[in-house]
Structure 1
Amino acid sequence: MLAFVGLGIRGEESLTLEGLKELQQADEVYAELYTSPLPKLELPNLEKIIGKRVKVLDRREIEEGEELLKASAVKRVVLLVPGDPMIATTHVALRLKAISLGIQTKVVHSSSIISAVAGLTGLQNYKFGRSATLPLDQTSAHPYEVLGENLERGLHTLLFLDVKAEESRYMTANEGIRYLLQLENQRQRGYFTGKRLAVIVARAGGDDCLVRGDRAEKLAEVDFGPPPHALVVPGKLHFLEAEALKTLAGVPPEILAKQESLQVKGLKEELLEEIEKWIEKLEKKVEPLKSRPEMENILAYLQDSEHFRKRGDLVKSFECLIWAWALLHTSRDKLVEG
């Protein structure tokens, strides 16, 4: 059997009771510590608590999985994972491989930075879009594109900061901000200017946890202390979220007052909002007139507009909507006479 047990965001202190039980019952215990740093984790203390040795595996050993799977086929094995064990795709792949070999698996969930960030900042978790990782080598613009997509939809963005545990290298929030500002300078789409509101979460779950929000250009100069750090870029804010950022992250009120004007609202989003607004108005107009013969083409165009909107072809949807309204106006006299 292979059990994936989450260490949470703090270390052995954030183990669940169920996780501790699995560790005590295990024949062998392994751990991977490269996906996220856990500064409060003390392996000797954990080994003392569970009464057995913990063997740490590196990235290659986890991805290949040979030792783990071989042991799990004949013994009760636990793999300790930072945060929640099924957040990283590597662990999902390892679990699927174990199942394909007929090995029983179990998952013991724990706290994750994904849930902790929402709780620590007060941002509503269902308003987060896709997340991305800012790489240490700073060669990818993918995180910038993900940020832009989320902002255009009014969603918050959680940006993970790269870790290379085997080299003891951890990207700091300051490095992440400067990298995004560099990408903004190159792309100039307005996704991450120096005026952009950002929030830093440092050492989530620890007694020395720090949550700070401000304009990106100011945060770039702040010393957030040792990692791990996470970078959050808020999208459109509910009034309760704005109040939470002011209280929990120390965001200056004047920045929150101007936050709406700093949103990136893409043409696609604006067009979609206009289409939906005018479809709704047209539907109300035509509802009492649907049985009239003059309405046949108008309703057909309205139906086509809805069809293209659902397919994501907003230009054709808008064109059909314009024709529908035009026909309604040209048929107005006949409809009134009827």
Structure 2
Amino acid sequence: MLWFVGLGISGTRSIPIEVVKIIQEADFVYLEAFTSPISKQHEDEIKNMVNGSFKIAKRWLVEDGQEILKTSKSSTVVLLSYGDPYVATTHIELRTRAKLENIETSTIHSASAITSMTGEAGLQFYKVGRMVTIMNEKKSTITPYTAIFKNLTQGLHSIILLEYNHDENYFLDPKDAISNLLDVEKEQKRNVVNNDTFAIVASRIGFKTQKITSGKFSNLLKVDFGEPPHSIIITGKLHFTESDAINVLTECLDKPSDNSSRIKSTSIQMIEKYVPMVRDTLEEIKSLYNDSKEFQVVIQNAELYINDAENFLKQGKDENAVLSIGYADGLVDALRIAKGIDPKI
């Protein structure tokens, strides 16, 4: 028997009575410590509840899973984790493997810091987009940067988890994560983030020392957020009730603002770049075909495609707009090639 048990977000204070009983009756208890930090006090308190064997489970032990699965075939095993057990994909995989090996499994769900921080900050959870993690390595920040961009184009909030390495007791500081995002912006230049980007930093959610600070990047970079763990939320389109709640529920350094209002989708960026470029190029090449009636239809079609691209964009049909300017660009290139002009110039 293998239990997947969530301990909630407040350490031993949030452990339900039924979980205490399961822990006490288990033959083996593994306390997973790599998805969220566990204080020595809480570790000792949990260990004192255990009547069977107790072991801290590092990442490799859970990812490998063989020891846990082998033990679960003949004994009652409990895998404890802070928050909800299935926020971690590693636990879902382990449960899947257990099922395939005909090991009975059961689950105790609990509150997760991911869902809790959203409400604690005054945001509406159904407006949260894809969640990402920022690591210390700056090169890896391009992936969360892109995810934030996509979330903002839809007006969605972005929850950003920060790197935590249990073995090295390392936590990425929110200020370093913000700096990494700003560095990526300098390279990508897609206007996803800047010093005026409004964000929320949630610290130690569920604990007595919980703190939630909000403000522009420029001001958050000056804040000492204290002990970890920390997470960041970059807000998308804010409902007025969310703005009001942020002002009241967080230490608000700046007026809450909509980060999505300045974001342009990739399609819009492409159209704004290519429509004038293709139109100017067409105007330049047209004079070379004044005496070539057979090419006038091609020129007219290119003009129509350019106009279609602009009209489709106004109608919100971004994909059609991109296709139209692509067709126009192809016709213009064909006209240039017919006159021996390199289309790349």
Q: How high is the TM-score relative to the length of structure 1?
A: 0.77
Q: Which amino acid aligns with 2:232?
A: L
Residue 7 of structure 1 aligns with which residue?
Answer: 7
Could you tell me how far apart the structure 1 residues matched to 2:269 and 2:244 are? Answer: 27
SS in 2 for 1:313: helix
User: Is 1:106 matched with 2:106?
Assistant: yes
Partner of 1:224: 225
- What is the CA distance between 1:318 and its match in structure 2? 9.0
Partner SS for 2:74: coil
TM-aligned CA distance change 1:180 to 1:106, over 3 Å: same
Name the amino acid aligned to 1:244.
A
Match for residue 120 of structure 1? 120
> Could you give the per-residue CA deviations for residues 151-182 of structure 1, whole angstroms, max 9, x where no partner exists?
01100000000111111111111111111111
Superposed, 1:121-270 pairs within 5 Å as: 121-140=121-140, 141-252=142-253, 255-256=255-256, 259=258, 263-266=262-265, 268=267
Q: Secondary structure at the match of 1:146?
A: helix
For residues 269 and 3 of structure 1, what CA distance do their matches in structure 2 show? 50
The separation in 1 between residues aligned to 2:134 and 2:84, in whole angstroms, is 20
Q: 1:104-163 CA deviation, whole Å, 9 max, x = no partner?
A: 011111111111111111100000000100012232110000000000110000000011
Contact 1:65 1:94 in 2 (8 A): yes
TM normalised by structure 2 equals 0.75
Gaps of 5+ in 1: 272-304, 320-338
Q: Which runs of 5+ in 2 are unaligned?
A: 271-311, 326-345
Tell me if structure 2 keeps the 8 A contact 1:200–1:231. Answer: yes
Could you say which residue in structure 1 is the equivalent of 2:88? 88
The residue identity in structure 2 corresponding to 1:143 is: P
% identical aligned pairs: 34
Which SS does the other structure have where 1:13 is aligned? Answer: helix
Shift of 1:261: 7.9
CA distance in 1, matches of 2:226, 2:30: 30
1:317 Cα offset (Å): 9.5
Q: Deviations over 1:22-74 (max 9, x none)?
A: 21221110111011113475222122234444201211111111110111000
- Distance in 1 (alpha carbons) for counterparts of 2:204 and 2:53: 27
Cα drift, residue 266 of structure 1: 2.3
Equivalent residue, structure 2, for 1:289: none
Structure 1 residues 261 and 55: CA distance shift in structure 2, 3 A: closer
Q: Is the 8 A contact 1:10 1:39 kept in 2?
A: no
Q: Is the 8 A contact 1:9 1:113 kept in 2?
A: yes
Aligned pair 1:97/2:97, yes or no? yes
Contact 1:6 1:85 in 2 (8 A): yes
Q: Which amino acid aligns with 2:149?
A: G
Q: Could you say if the C-alpha distance between residues 314 and 124 of structure 1 is closer, same or farther in structure 2, counting changes exceeding 3 Å? A: farther
Q: Secondary structure at the match of 2:201?
A: strand
CA RMSD of aligned residues (A): 2.5
1:245 positional shift: 0.8
Offset at residue 252 of structure 1 (A)? 4.8
Does the 8 Å CA contact 1:12/1:41 hold for their aligned counterparts? no
Output the CA distance in 2 between the equivalents of 1:200 and 1:45: 29
